[in-house]
Amino acid sequence: MRIVLLGAPGAGKGTQCKRIVDKYNLVHLSSGDILRKERAAGSQLGKKAQSYMDSGGLVPDELIVEMMAEAIKQLADGFVLDGFPRTVNQAVELDKSLAKSGQKIDAVLNLEVDDQRVAKRLTGRRSCPECGEVYHIENLKPKVDGKCDKDGSELTQRPDDKPEVVLNRLETYHKLTEPVVDYYNSNNTVYNVNADRDIGEITSDIFEKFSQLVSAK
């Protein structure tokens, strides 16, 4: 299965992707995670992306499309895309690139949740710099305060989760990424998922939608 997961910053895309790939044996490709790794490695791409990410804007399409096309090319089987495509142009380029190898997106999941809720989620998010595990100071606490359950590393806050940057990220989402939902609505199966619920409830809903998809194939 080739799946696109859409949703505002903080809608829970990363959280749900981890559960989806575990159950369906798919690869999780997060454009944000790839960019953060490029930054940590000090690559040219990472340096170019830095200012856009820190201000809550989007990294230019020409950098992202090439980066993601390269990552997707390495995958023979299914994947879940998280954070990409984020503009209509990126979605068009993705379709073109998949079509070259006779592939297409099988389904799109759109996580729906309001701005106030996601702002709270983002400012309370903490993550493990070593393994990438994601927590929340109220909703998903680690067993030991401030430490990763998996490897004991000190949890950190993403620089773009500061309140002023979160506002810009949400503005960017409404302006540039929401139209991607309309793009997919016109030629793909789009499942809208109420993401203003308990994490486990959302996962069950997604798995149910996936079982319909698998049995329809």
**Angstrom distances, CA of residue 171 to CA of 58, 181, 212:** 11, 16, 34
Does 158 participate in catalysis according to the annotation? yes
CB-based contact 87:176 (threshold 8 Å): yes
Name the residues that contact ligand AP5, by CB under 6 A. Answer: 7, 9-15, 31-32, 35, 52-53, 56-59, 64, 83-84, 86, 90, 121-122, 125, 134-136, 139-140, 160, 169, 195, 197, 199, 202
Told to judge if 121 belongs to the known catalytic residues of this protein, a careful annotator would answer no
CB closer to ligand AP5, 139 vs 214: 139
Which residues, including other chains, have CB under 8 Å from residue 29's CB and lie 6 or more apart?
Answer: 68, 71, 72, 75, 79, 80, 81, 82, 84
Least distance in Å: CB of 115 to ligand AP5?
12
Name which of 26 and 202 has its Cβ closer to ligand AP5: 202
Identity of the amino acid at 21: V
Residue with Cβ nearer ligand AP5 (32 or 210): 32
Return the structure tokens found at 17.
């992707």
- Closer to ligand AP5 at the Cβ: 43 or 214? 43
Question: Whole-angstrom Cα distance, residue 179 to residue 87?
Answer: 7
Q: How far is the CB of 49 from ligand AP5 (least distance, A)?
A: 7
If we measure between CA atoms, which residue out of 83, 60, 56 comes closest to residue 167? 56
Answer yes or no: 13 catalytic: yes
**Per the residue annotation, which of 2, 36, 121, 169 is the catalytic one?**
169
Whether 125 sits among the annotated catalytic residues: the reply is yes
Which residues are annotated as catalytic? 13, 86, 125, 158, 169
